[in-house]
Amino acid sequence: MELVKLIAINLLIFTWRPRINIWIQGARPRTLPAAIAPVVVATVLAGNQWKPLQALLALLVSLALQVAVNYSNDYSDGIRGTDDNRVGPIRITASKLASAESVKRAAIISFALASITGLVLAYLSSYWIIAIGASAIAAAWGYTGGKNPYGYKGLGELSVFVFFGVVATMGTYYVQTLDITWQSFAASVPMGALSCSLLAINNLRDREQDKLVGKRTLAVRLGDRGYRFFFLFLILATYIFALLAGSSWTLLIALTLPLAIPLVRKVLKGASGADLIPLLGVTGKLQFVFAIIFAASLGL
């Protein structure tokens, strides 16, 4: 009897593992540092005012929103056909690995988790968080969803900077301290710039295909050369504003230069198409390592 149970369990795992892997890949784990980094930095910046429960809830909201926007983009781009010839990480809808409605439901569930967690966070801090959360959800869906997606007009980077940089960092700081400071804003700029850098690698990789399907991202508008220099600008802004937000200890962020310099060099030298896929992981690693070192320097 025990042998039968063991075989049944193994068969179940074998059957479901590929499906689970598809949804994990669709959530795009390499983009998750964009959700974690601002929460870590803001929590350390809160100092002795930090509140563990609020920090945890803020992290859950941020992660749920990141996954939600990934699924919603997968769904919206998939049904429009703009992902049909995409080079890069798996797209569930375009690859027909799951139905479009299933991907849409995954996005809605993720948005719902973010909303419920956000309501608890608002109850513990301020009801202004509800308005901010609603704006974040609307922005996440409107990026590629709806009849007039702003991501198709070159406004994606601005939205990412605002919501995964300024709002995520200052919001996390606010729910713990009930205060807004210049330092929390300055600290939010590197987080937003690095989140934009993740998007920039994606948009640079997809520039030619986006141009063909009428998706006027900032990469399409600025052109190949201009957008590569925009990526350089984002990395420079990251380091400059981190130094403005911190103290002499913030010079420790120089430890991340061995990650940043080769990354920028490869982008400026013309890495394109599939060659940019590994750079997405490097950019995510840079954001995470930078956030840890930056947060440590703020704590010191």
- What pLDDT is recorded for position 56? 96
pLDDT score of 208 more than 60: yes
Residue 13 within any structural domain of the chain: no
CA trace torsion 34, 159, 142, 128 (10° rounding): 90
- pLDDT tier, 10 (very low <50, low <70, confident <90, very high otherwise): very low
Q: What's this model's pTM, rounded to 2 decimal places?
A: 0.87
Contact 203, 217 (CB under 8 A): yes
pLDDT score of 214 more than 90: no
Residues 6+ positions from 244 with CB-CB distance below 8 Å: 186
- Is pLDDT larger for residue 142 or for residue 6? 142
Handedness of CA 251, 158, 106, 93 (dihedral sign): negative
Average pLDDT, the chain: 87
Note the pLDDT tens digit of each residue in 26-56: 778 878 888 999 999 999 999 999 999 999 9
Residue 27 within any structural domain of the chain: no
pLDDT mean over 167-176: 96
Residue 173 within any structural domain of the chain: yes
pLDDT score of 16 more than 60: no
pLDDT mean over 115-126: 95
Overall domain count for the chain: 1
What is the DSSP secondary-structure string of the chain?
-HHHHHHHHHHHHHHHHHHHHHHHHHT-GGGTHHHHHHHHHHHHHTGGG--HHHHHHHHHHHHHHHHHHHHHHHHHHHHHTTTTT--SS--HHHHTSS-HHHHHHHHHHHHHHHHHHHHHHHHHS-THHHHHHHHHHHHHHHTT-SSS-GGGGT-HHHHHHIIIIIIHHHHHHHHHHS---HHHHHHHHHHHHHHHHHHHHHHHHTHHHHHHTT---HHHHHHHHHHHHHHHHHHHHHHHHHHHHS-GGGGGGGGGHHHHHHHHHHHHTT--GGGGHHHHHHHHHHHHHHHHHHHHHHH-
pLDDT mean over 208-231: 91
- What pLDDT is recorded for position 58? 96
Domain containing 236 equals 36-299
* Separation CA 110–CA 95 (nearest Å): 21
Residue 253 within any structural domain of the chain: yes
Residue 290 within any structural domain of the chain: yes
- pLDDT tier, 20 (very low <50, low <70, confident <90, very high otherwise): low
pLDDT score of 79 more than 50: yes
Residue 6 within any structural domain of the chain: no
- What pLDDT is recorded for position 131? 94
Give the least confident one: 93-102, 247-256, 272-281.
93-102
pLDDT score of 17 more than 60: no
Residue 279 within any structural domain of the chain: yes
- pLDDT tier, 201 (very low <50, low <70, confident <90, very high otherwise): very high
Residue 15 within any structural domain of the chain: no
- Is pLDDT larger for residue 211 or for residue 263? 263
pLDDT mean over 51-77: 93
